[in-house]
Chain A
């Protein structure tokens, strides 16, 4: 089974702190994604990565950056956390084996971040 592991299930941080959310997948998937999920807004794409060292902005990249130095790991960084970044963060990965844009996304269990 595909395993997508997010390093922290729950985090509480203070405004202005730098926050790292880590995501690791064990299936050699090329694509990785970071979403945030908020009530009434659904899942919104922050960043995604086609492959190692590649990244593309999603719909709401402001205030976030990402790093993909190794294929299995995709990190989301909040340089200076703000209260409006309080949310559930979901990482996902996808294989390109079935063809571009056709693969199933496998999600981690999520990281609930509270910024005080």
Chain B
């Protein structure tokens, strides 16, 4: 089983839609969690950290479920500019940051 798994998609949604991605992790000792965004032919950049209590940044909401070992990202009112690959990342206890394979989102007009 991979340490961090995501559904690669692609997710094709119309503008204004709400879309959710999940990411599961296998190491119960994982300490911190993140969502990164990667545009085509660009490097990944941090979108948001994921806190135990859940956190929201504008149209984006991230949640952590430790019992079931998954994190989620919800995007409301999708924009064309949200089209990208979304990568979840998990810090394991040794300091390694492990990424999922990424989920591709395509928002269509």
Residues of A within 8 A of B (CB): 31, 33, 35, 40-45, 48, 50, 56, 58-59, 90, 94, 100-102, 104-105, 107-110
- A-B contact list, 25 entries, CB within 8 Å: A40-B8, A40-B101, A41-B101, A42-B100, A42-B102, A43-B87, A44-B99, A45-B96, A45-B98, A48-B96, A50-B95, A56-B94, A58-B96, A100-B95, A101-B32, A101-B97, A104-B34, A104-B49, A105-B36, A105-B44, A105-B97, A107-B43, A107-B45, A109-B42, A109-B43
- Asked whether B31 is an interface residue with its Cβ less than 8 Å from the other chain, the reply is yes
Residues of B within 8 A of A (CB): 3, 6, 8, 31-32, 34, 36, 42-46, 49, 87, 89, 91, 93-102
Closest to A99 in B: B32
Task: Please determine whether B31 and A43 come into contact, CB atoms closer than 8 angstroms.
Answer: no
Closest to A38 in B: B101
